[in-house]
Structure 1
Amino acid sequence: MKNKSNSARLNTLPKTPKIPFEVLVYDRLAKEVRALRPTFEALGMKTLSVFQTTPASHNRSLTKASFVIIPINVFLEQHTQAMTTTAAKSKTEAKTSSKNRTLGKKQKSSKNHPSIITWLNEAEIKHKDNLPLVILSYKKAQLSDVQKLPRKDNILVVDQTLFNSNVLVTHFLARELIHFKNRQAARKLTSAPPPAAQKPPTEKTPAPITENRNIASEERELISKEILNIGLNISKERDTVKILEEILVNSMRITQADAGSIAIRGMDKELKKTNEDVLTFYISKNTSRELHFSKFSMPVSKKSLGGYTTITGKLLNIKDAYQISNRKIYSFNREFDEKTHFRTKSVIVVPMINQKDETIGIIQLINKKASYEKIIDYKNFKQTDVLSFNDEDVTKLQALASLATISLQNAILYHEIDHLFHSFVEASVSAVEQRDPATSGHSFRVSKFSTLLAEACNGAGGIFSDWFFTTTQLRELEYASLLHDFGKIGVREHVLLKSHKIEQTRFVNLIRKFDVMILNFQNQSYDEMLDLFREGTKNNIPMLELEQKMTFIKTKWKKKIDRLKEHKKIIERYNEGMPLTNEIKKIIQECSYLDVDATFFKEKLITSEEEKFLSIPYGTLSTNERIEIQSHVTHTFEFLKKIPWTDELKHIPEIAHYHHEKLDGSGYPIGIKAIAIPNQTKIMTICDIYDALTSADRPYKKSMNQNKAIEILKSERDTGKLHPDLLELFIRNKHIRNAIKANSTPELNVIL
């Protein structure tokens, strides 16, 4: 099945001239080199294999072979042996010629492989010419050994690591060997007798190769190298759009096409996979006219030129798009030409085929010109303005399409992995925020604001001239901002969600004690009035006097009960996170002296444990709970540190770790100062504080409007905690203001 696959792919390769090649493949080749053999055979080049045969068989093979392939490590090994034994052999050759013959017999019976150097020497005598030797280097570590190779014009060193396809390696070798034979023929021509002494060429004898043909051969060699350079350049690029543009521009240039476009199969306009079988045209160019282009998709169908090539994998080379036979299944749509007064004549459509023999896209070029610089006047169009694409154009374009396919697939794969990772990060952040619904969306907003602020720095100048953030640094900031609170997963949930100074279950008991205390006061007032009534009856106290005393008792206990009820209300409000005041301190102290005397229990109205929590000066967290919350930055750092980040993203743990540090050293967890805080972190800190202040109510604080939040940020700036110029840029930048407005509540939008 694999050989069939290679053969199918070779159907689209340019045909090599009819030169009878026979290849001798040295049997110590590595697996990677053997893989070339089916491809040679598919090109019609007979492969001679040598496996433990006699020297006579080797010699016959060498006589027939057009060239020999050998791996660089084998050649170097045997070449070194040959060089070290040459001197010894030359000394003993004259004295022991008979012994040498005996040794030769022994060598014939040996199971070892005959020396490739010996083969080549014998072959050159029998060929009466240099036999081309192809040395394949298929490991990067061996490239330095090329300098050790002998300097002979019959030796061709091929770095197989530059090719990602056996088809490309084989085709490149075939072209190079054609050039070798042409150079050989040219040398024979220059050393041959004058033309008068030669026999005139006949039909059976091919005409001598001319100097022009040799020049053309060198031009083709330059073009091959140029295509390889183009392939190397695009293989380093990760931006898919830039890759497509580079492919199209170079395709048009080397074929002298006036216009062209590239379409990718199964992708939407954002280069994301889609379930629909469509061809999406991402890029289009025209050198003679300025035409507005926007991405569009079309169903894959054999009725269109692009669809036909995509489905069949066959190249189309059309001399005139307006004269396509009705018998063809495909046709040309003239709608674009009619709208733009364009004239499409010669068209070539080349498939971009991956290693699975799937067509992932097409390169479509239109109207070959006499020179790339020529401008075609389509208003006064002449048929002679446009040429047909020839076989050499096909060769160039197919070679470039093969290289482009590999680079494009690598880029798409890179973006798919990047998108997968980004989605995983977002899903992880969402999962963490589910533990604390009040902070939902906080990390995403901080990431958005931080990226916008960093981009604003790039164009701000002044103090930010040295603050330019590359695309890689912006991605680092984006991911660090998304993950900056990930460590909250290590904080206990009841601490993370604590909305009151005293937890709700314990606070309910405290309120009940207040209620019991109020009932006690009421009962004491009733008991006191009952005792007074009994005393008045016993002592015949006048009714008027008795009523006055009763009123006094009622008033006394009512004041106590009302005061206790007021204390209860204040404690309820204060427990929600109000700052501790002197008035509340007195209330707490007063209540801590009261004893609740109930049927089943007797204790202080406010116990020492309750007093400790009620004495929290700000918010709802105790000192230990605040330390636990602050530990989330350490948890974040420890978590992010375990991820094997690439070199481009290796600073993410550090950027996220310091987002609660302040320029004056008053932050946490380490207390470092401005010089040690990364610039990306300084940006994130401002955005994090702002969003925390203005976002929805949190358990430990209420949401505030923008003006109040800006006042707090400015006070932090004035005390040396925040970067003053960054804060000013944050406040004034219109893109950040628009993003804030888009992510704000209706109430905040009124303020904005």
Structure 2
Amino acid sequence: MSEHQHPYMLAQLERLNAIGIALSAERDNQRLLEMILLGAQEITNADGGTLYTITQDKHLKFEMMRNKSLQMSLGGTTGKEIPFLPLPLYLADGSPNLTTVAAYATLQDQTVNIANVREVDSFDFSGTRKFDEKTGYHSQSFLTIPMKDHESKVIGVLQLINATDVDTGAIIPFSIGHQTLVESLASQAAVAMTNHHLIDGLKGLFEAFIELIADAIDQKSPYTGGHCRRVPELTMMLTQALIDAKTGPFKDFTLNENELYELKVASWLHDCGKVTTPEAIMDKPTKLSSIFDRIQLLDQRFELLKQQAECAMLKEQVEILKSGGFNQEAEVRLTALQAKQDAFNTYCDEARDFLRLANIGSESMTASDLQRIKDIANMEMLDASGNKVRFLNEDETYNLSIKRGTLTAEERQVINNHIVVTISMLESLPYPQSLARVPEYACGHHEHMDGSGYPKGLTREQMSIPARVMGVADIFEALTSKDRPYKKAKTLSESLAILGRMKVDNHIDPELFDIFVREGIYLKYAQQFLEPEQIDEVDLTQIPGYQP
């Protein structure tokens, strides 16, 4: 090796090492492929190059082409399509395609180093000649190297064209030194590509799995369908508004690509603990719902009660007639009994209608409502054995006396426990560093800024901004959801009024609420996910706690 060659080769080895390190760090597939091809051209001083990958149907796909003389840059990060069809590895009759040099190198797992294509008969270079005729190019030396992964499986091909002399610029053959360097690069490149595909595959599987969990929860309940899908959308909308803010309290807030991904994963998993919540409680549409709505039993019971009362009345009327016959006094007594029965029937019908309404749970129960339930409960009727029993049993009375909504305190605790289960589930997972904050982000959406929330009673200062964003997104999605059994879908103005009161009560982050309204995130979300009848005219001056 001459003195002139020694520093040049040393520089090439150093460059090869630097490219190898860069390859292992690159996460974008197109940039990775580009780095491989440009690195190979650089260390061999090749004028042109093509990188192929092997497709599932056994073809070599043109991933990218570069040519310095022709100033050609196709494929990869350029976004420019390569106008060439993939090369078949096997011919129509199933025989190997050994006349195309790239296919040959792949099938034979062998480097092909050609000094001058015009002096070679064993390969078909008609395509190359057509390319030269069309472009005026002069293709001469070729180096075609299969890229093999760690299992020695060929996953792509690197083809370099026209090595050029560093000093004169003349086209020269690719030297054995160049071939060795590019073979080393190709080996590193194949491992990097395999690792990239493996990481991509695992990431894709991970994302599909968390979406599967979210879908399972949404499908578990017909009433919360889509909640786990919509909360991530709203979370990312609001987060992007914070990142874009040029003034105000969030002007310095930013999340990089990995941090945004971390938040997105957290928002997908924020309700994963609901897989353990019984459907009978999660979907409880009325106060008396269990396996079925027990209000139907009360309807039947009222009819039975009226019939029992009527039967008792008829017995009394018969006794009156038996004892004294039909006379004026008997007529008065009979009429009084019938009037009493009619009044009782009316009372029962009104009580039935009252319980039907109370059972829905959409209105707050007043003190007089609760007393009325007790009075109805204490009415007496005969059971199958003829014994007197209360009209409502203790469980029915307890459920019908729920002041608001359809859940008892115990059932609400079961529902609330989903966040404890979520924390337990998410904190048990072995996260990479880039996803370490998923549990914190996912598990704070029921906390209140004043510390009155659950499960940890965190205050605003103890919560990160992404966790507070999740809280706003979760509440607004629930307010506007059209799927809930115990309420009609609220309009935008109704939902914002409730959210505004939660700001005033220091339950949600006040600054997040302001940007949510000011930047029109509520409307952007509504246009994508709400029914047209929900999107009413919003008067910002009427929203509690908001200053337009």
Shorter-chain TM range is 0.7 to 0.9
Q: Find the counterpart in structure 2 of residue 46 from structure 1.
A: none
Deviations 1:185-236 (A, max 9, x none): xxxxxxxxxxxxxxxxxxxxxxxxxxxx113112211211111111112212
Of 250, 253, 263, which aligns to 2:39? 250
**What letter is aligned with 2:6?**
S
Once the two structures are TM-superposed, the CA of residue 672 in structure 1 deviates from its matched residue by 0.9
Q: Find the counterpart in structure 2 of residue 179 from structure 1.
A: none
Q: Find the counterpart in structure 2 of residue 559 from structure 1.
A: 343
Q: Find the counterpart in structure 1 of residue 201 from structure 2.
A: 416
Of 26, 30, 37, which aligns to 1:241? 30
Once the two structures are TM-superposed, the CA of residue 278 in structure 1 deviates from its matched residue by 3.6
Deviations 1:91-133 (A, max 9, x none): xxxxxxxxxxxxxxxxxxxxxxxxxxxxxxxxxxxxxxxxxxx
Aligned partners of 1:458 and 1:468 also within 8 Å: yes
Residues 744 and 403 (structure 1), Cα distance of their counterparts in 2 relative to 1, 3 Å cut:
same
Of 652, 663, 685, which aligns to 2:438? 652
Of 51, 60, 66, which aligns to 1:279? 60
Of 324, 328, 335, which aligns to 1:541? 328
Q: Distance in 1 between matches of 2:493 and 2:150?
A: 60
Q: Find the counterpart in structure 2 of residue 440 from structure 1.
A: 225
Of 340, 344, 361, which aligns to 1:577? 361
Q: Does 1:345 align with 2:139?
A: yes
Aligned partners of 1:308 and 1:330 also within 8 Å: no
Once the two structures are TM-superposed, the CA of residue 668 in structure 1 deviates from its matched residue by 0.7
Q: Find the counterpart in structure 1 of residue 473 from structure 2.
A: 687
Aligned ranges 1:401-480 → 2 under 5 Å: 401-462=186-247, 463-480=249-266
Q: Find the counterpart in structure 2 of residue 355 from structure 1.
A: 150
Q: Find the counterpart in structure 1 of residue 20 from structure 2.
A: 231
Q: Distance in 2 between matches of 1:735 and 1:248?
A: 44
Q: Does 1:293 align with 2:80?
A: yes
Please give the TM-score of this superposition, normalised by the length of structure 1.
0.61
Residues 691 and 230 (structure 1), Cα distance of their counterparts in 2 relative to 1, 3 Å cut:
same
Q: Find the counterpart in structure 2 of residue 606 from structure 1.
A: 392
Q: Does 1:310 align with 2:106?
A: yes
Moved more, 599-608 or 557-566: 599-608
Q: Does 1:516 align with 2:304?
A: yes
Output the aligned Cα RMSD. Answer: 3.5
Moved more, 690-699 or 651-660: 690-699
Once the two structures are TM-superposed, the CA of residue 262 in structure 1 deviates from its matched residue by 2.7
Once the two structures are TM-superposed, the CA of residue 689 in structure 1 deviates from its matched residue by 1.5
Residues 314 and 681 (structure 1), Cα distance of their counterparts in 2 relative to 1, 3 Å cut:
same
Secondary structure (helix, strand or coil) at the match of 2:147 reads: strand
Residues 536 and 645 (structure 1), Cα distance of their counterparts in 2 relative to 1, 3 Å cut:
same
Once the two structures are TM-superposed, the CA of residue 621 in structure 1 deviates from its matched residue by 1.0
Moved more, 523-532 or 567-576: 523-532
Aligned partners of 1:284 and 1:293 also within 8 Å: no
Q: Which has the larger radius of gyration?
A: 1
Residues 676 and 319 (structure 1), Cα distance of their counterparts in 2 relative to 1, 3 Å cut:
same
Aligned ranges 1:633-712 → 2 under 5 Å: 633-712=419-498
Q: Distance in 2 between matches of 1:742 and 1:592?
A: 47
Residues 264 and 439 (structure 1), Cα distance of their counterparts in 2 relative to 1, 3 Å cut:
farther
Q: Distance in 2 between matches of 1:300 and 1:235?
A: 30
Q: Distance in 1 between matches of 2:114 and 2:526?
A: 56
Secondary structure (helix, strand or coil) at the match of 1:631 reads: helix
Q: Distance in 1 between matches of 2:482 and 2:197?
A: 39
Once the two structures are TM-superposed, the CA of residue 679 in structure 1 deviates from its matched residue by 1.7
Count of aligned pairs between the two proteins: 516
Once the two structures are TM-superposed, the CA of residue 409 in structure 1 deviates from its matched residue by 1.7
Q: Find the counterpart in structure 1 of residue 409 from structure 2.
A: 623
Q: Distance in 1 between matches of 2:119 and 2:531?
A: 62
Q: Distance in 2 between matches of 1:747 and 1:338?
A: 65
Q: Find the counterpart in structure 1 of residue 10 from structure 2.
A: 221
Q: Distance in 2 between matches of 1:531 and 1:549?
A: 11
Secondary structure (helix, strand or coil) at the match of 2:188 reads: helix
Q: Find the counterpart in structure 2 of residue 332 from structure 1.
A: 127
Once the two structures are TM-superposed, the CA of residue 348 in structure 1 deviates from its matched residue by 3.8
Residues 344 and 734 (structure 1), Cα distance of their counterparts in 2 relative to 1, 3 Å cut:
farther
Secondary structure (helix, strand or coil) at the match of 1:584 reads: helix
Deviations 1:248-272 (A, max 9, x none): 3323333344444433223xxxxxx
Once the two structures are TM-superposed, the CA of residue 407 in structure 1 deviates from its matched residue by 1.8
Aligned partners of 1:516 and 1:598 also within 8 Å: no
Residues 690 and 306 (structure 1), Cα distance of their counterparts in 2 relative to 1, 3 Å cut:
farther
Aligned partners of 2:445 and 2:471 also within 8 Å: yes
Q: Distance in 1 between matches of 2:133 and 2:402?
A: 79
Moved more, 496-505 or 563-572: 496-505
Aligned ranges 1:48-447 → 2 under 5 Å: 213-266=2-55, 275-285=56-66, 287=68, 288-289=71-72, 293-294=80-81, 298=86, 300-301=88-89, 302=97, 304-317=100-113, 328-329=123-124, 331-332=126-127, 341=135, 343=137, 345-346=139-140, 347-366=142-161, 387-391=171-175, 392-447=177-232
Deviations 1:612-655 (A, max 9, x none): 21111111111111112111111111112221111221221222
Q: Find the counterpart in structure 1 of residue 92 from structure 2.
A: none
Aligned partners of 1:476 and 1:649 also within 8 Å: yes
Percent identical: 27
Aligned partners of 1:518 and 1:561 also within 8 Å: yes
Residues 498 and 742 (structure 1), Cα distance of their counterparts in 2 relative to 1, 3 Å cut:
same
**What letter is aligned with 2:215?**
S
Q: Distance in 1 between matches of 2:515 and 2:100?
A: 53
Q: Find the counterpart in structure 1 of residue 545 from structure 2.
A: none
Residues 216 and 727 (structure 1), Cα distance of their counterparts in 2 relative to 1, 3 Å cut:
same
Deviations 1:13-35 (A, max 9, x none): xxxxxxxxxxxxxxxxxxxxxxx
Q: Distance in 2 between matches of 1:513 and 1:560?
A: 14
Q: Distance in 2 between matches of 1:327 and 1:609?
A: 90
Q: Distance in 1 between matches of 2:63 and 2:532?
A: 40
Once the two structures are TM-superposed, the CA of residue 484 in structure 1 deviates from its matched residue by 1.5
Q: Distance in 2 between matches of 1:705 and 1:440?
A: 18
**What letter is aligned with 1:262?**
L
Deviations 1:301-338 (A, max 9, x none): 236554333333333455677x5866525642678778
Q: Which runs of 5+ in 1 are unaligned?
A: 1-181, 183-212, 267-274, 373-383
Q: Distance in 2 between matches of 1:333 and 1:324?
A: 14
Residues 317 and 386 (structure 1), Cα distance of their counterparts in 2 relative to 1, 3 Å cut:
farther
Once the two structures are TM-superposed, the CA of residue 564 in structure 1 deviates from its matched residue by 1.0
Q: Distance in 1 between matches of 2:246 and 2:273?
A: 36
**What letter is aligned with 2:57?**
E
Secondary structure (helix, strand or coil) at the match of 2:328 reads: coil
Q: Distance in 2 between matches of 1:324 and 1:621?
A: 87
**What letter is aligned with 1:444?**
R
Q: Distance in 2 between matches of 1:577 and 1:533?
A: 48
Q: Which runs of 5+ in 2 are unaligned?
A: 90-96, 539-548
Deviations 1:476-515 (A, max 9, x none): 2122222221212333443333232123465444333322
